[in-house]
Amino acid sequence: MSENTNPQGDSGAQDAPDGASNEPAGKTYTDEEISRLIGKARNEERRKASEKYSDYETLKAAAEEKKTAEDRLADLEKQYAQSQANSLRLRVAGDWNVPTKRGEDGEPSDADLFLTGTDEETLIAQAKRYSDLMEQRKTNQPYVSREGANPRPKPSSTQEFLSTLTGRGQ
């Protein structure tokens, strides 16, 4: 016969004080206690997350500054490329006598309309073609026979009769 004894030599069959048994009893929680425990857990998770991401705002601000600096640099590079292209177009227009004066009411100049290339070779080819066409236009003016001469029309039979009758036709 073996007895269950604890290290103090007491038997395990003794009753616990206040009439409770040795088996773990399930505690029942009220809604208020459950809400409080859940709230504690949530607050702890929020605290951990805020510690983990505490420098998020500073990193975000630094990224925005870098982005705006990159955008400004890209804008400046774009403006520089445009000014270089305009300078090249105006130089080629001057070399080939392509008009750069704007038209009335702010209309684009011939250089703006016809010199659209992006590299020097293309611009020179366009300017040469424009110049050749203008030369052809000057030399090949439309021909109108007897332009400027206003010959008298032949008199009709009625006019001949009247001129002989009055004596003015001779």
* DSSP per-residue codes, 41-94: HHHHHHHHHHHHTTTHHHHHHHHHHHHHHHHHHHHHHHHHHHHHHHHHHHHHHH
φ, ψ of residue 169 to 5 degrees: the values are: -75, -5
Domain definitions of the chain by residue range: 30-139
Distance of alpha carbon 44 from alpha carbon 107, whole angstroms? 70
Distance of alpha carbon 160 from alpha carbon 25, whole angstroms? 145
Distance of alpha carbon 130 from alpha carbon 147, whole angstroms? 29
Q: Could you tell me the pLDDT band of residue 24, with boundaries at 50, 70 and 90? A: low
Q: Could you tell me the pLDDT band of residue 122, with boundaries at 50, 70 and 90? A: very high
For residue range 150-161, list pLDDT tens digits in order.
777 777 888 888
Q: Could you tell me the pLDDT band of residue 144, with boundaries at 50, 70 and 90? A: confident
Residue type, 105: D
Distance of alpha carbon 20 from alpha carbon 63, whole angstroms? 63
**Is 70 exceeded by the pLDDT of residue 14?**
no
Tokens representing 1? 């016969």
**Is 70 exceeded by the pLDDT of residue 54?**
yes
**What's this model's pTM, rounded to 2 decimal places?**
0.46
State percent of the chain over pLDDT 90. Answer: 35
> What's residue 9's pLDDT?
47
